[in-house]
Amino acid sequence: MELNITQEQLVEIAANKLVEQVDEDSVYSRAMEIVQSKITSLIEKKLTPAVDQFLRDELEKIADAEFERVTERGEPTGQKITIRKILQEQSKHYWSQKVNGEGRSGDGYGYREERAKWFAEQVMKSTFEQAIQTNAKIVVDEFAKQLQQAGVNLVHENIGRLFKK
């Protein structure tokens, strides 16, 4: 018995049957995962570093470019300056301002210490408080354990003395 089917027709029938049996959603989902993974990898390895380097270079150019300050009327003052220098001056001014106990700047009574000193004290205070809280639990637990052991030892001693007599 001859079927009169060519090899090409047989391959086509098998391929069609295979496609019908494969769940289209799972194939589509898996294909999307692979494509997304490849694109993400490409962006992380090539595009992101290239963009980061470009931005660093451009920011360096901008920060070091000289320009001339002007008065309120737009008249040049004759002083050349860079954005980097302006930022350094403003940063120095900000951290050297006198502040009150809440870190707010002012020039009245209670504005005694520089912001940098106040900020450093706040960081140290916060760090110290966290360390105390962490270590306090350890110390209390150890004390409770030793107190419990001392109580057990005391009970054993007294029971021992009671029954010796």
pLDDT at 2 (0 to 100): 67
Provide the 10 A C-beta neighbour count for residue 63: 13
At residue 92, the pLDDT reads: 92
What pLDDT is stored for residue 139 in this prediction?
82
Beta strands 76-82 and 98-99: pairing type?
Answer: unpaired
Q: Residue 46 and residue 49: Cα distance in Å, rounded?
A: 6
Rounded to the nearest 5°, which phi and psi values hold at 106? 175, 180
CA 108 remoteness from chain centre:
38
| Token pair 């027709």: residue | 9
| Owner of token pair 């004759």 | 78
**Amino acid 90: pLDDT:** 92
Question: What is the structure's pLDDT at 24?
Answer: 64
**pLDDT tens for the 165 residues of the chain, in order:** 566 778 788 788 877 777 766 666 676 777 788 888 888 998 889 889 999 999 999 999 999 999 888 889 988 888 888 999 989 999 999 988 888 888 888 777 777 888 898 889 899 988 888 888 888 888 888 888 888 888 888 787 777 777 765
- Model pLDDT, residue 12: 83
Placement of tokens 């990898």 in the chain: 41
63 Cβ neighbours under 8 A, 6+ residues apart = 82, 83, 84, 87
DSSP letter for each residue of 25-84: HHHHHHHHHHHHHHHHHHIIIIIHHHHHHHHHHHHHHHHH-EEEEE-TTS-EEEEEEEHH
Q: How far is CA 89 from the centre of its chain?
A: 28
C-alpha to C-alpha distance for 111 and 102, rounded to whole angstroms: 10
